[in-house]
Amino acid sequence: MIAQRGLLLALCVSLAACGTVYRDTDTPMTAQAIDPTRYAGLWYEIARFPVSFQRGCTATTAEYGVTGPDTISVVNTCRDETPDGPVKQVVGSADIEAPGKLRVRFDSVPFVRAPYWVLWVDEAYDTAVVGVPSGKAGWVLARTPQIPDDRWQAALSVLRANGYDTKQLLQTEQPIP
């Protein structure tokens, strides 16, 4: 059993080390301090950089809740292949390590904690941009399934300023309310 856990851990670490890099990591990445209470709630994924753990996901959401002074609950949900396909969900938590810098872990992936930096959130907490220092992932999130063009352009601008190649973003299909 211990050998299997060691193998699983090695596999997880190996997979995390692989993958496409979507940002110039020589460009400094800047996190924005957030108010966890205002950040809590339901967010719709507007766009993401392709990552293997979200392959086939559409109608993706993330729901956060404040569970302690430096801890946030995380529930990521998506539909498989189509907006009305089977639901896939992963549950975890995030520790706030510094202003705008969180470290996320999921119950189904023991011993692995991944960085999650809030690069920007607008004043109304309606749109957010999230990235990772390695540049292997990034997301544009919003409180609604679609966003106006001015917020989309602002999100792209933030990604570019943090070294991301926005031409590689995939827009997420969300059901139209």
CA angle 58, 61, 63 (to 5 degrees): 165
94: β partners = 72, 104
pLDDT of residue 110: 78
Q: What percent of the chain has pLDDT over 90?
A: 79
Q: pLDDT tens-digit profile of 90-121? A: 999 999 999 999 999 998 887 789 999 999 99
Cα-based distances in Å from 52 to 43, 61, 81, 125, 157: 21, 17, 14, 28, 25
125 or 111: which carries more pLDDT confidence? 125
Whether residue 71 has pLDDT greater than 80: yes
Of the candidate ranges 2-6, 89-93, 102-106, 137-141, the one whose mean pLDDT is the lowest: 2-6
State how beta strands 71-80 and 87-98 pair: antiparallel
Q: What percent of the chain has pLDDT over 70?
A: 89
The structure tokens listed for 64 are 């956060």
Please report the domains of the chain, with CATH numbers, ordered by start residue. 36-171 (2.40.128.20)
pLDDT of residue 142: 98
Whether residue 77 has pLDDT greater than 60: yes
Q: State pTM to two decimals.
A: 0.88
pLDDT of residue 7: 31
Burial 71-106 (b: 16+ CB within 10 A, else e): ebebebbbbeeeeeeeeeeeebbbebeeebbbebbb
Q: What is the dihedral of CA 60, 28, 31, 104, to 10 degrees?
A: 50
Q: In which band, very low, low, confident or very high, does the pLDDT at 53 lie, cut at 50, 70 and 90? A: confident
- Collapsing DSSP to helix, strand or coil, 159 comes out as helix
Residue range 156-175: mean pLDDT, rounded: 96
Q: What are phi and psi of 141, to 5 degrees?
A: -120, 155
pLDDT of residue 34: 97
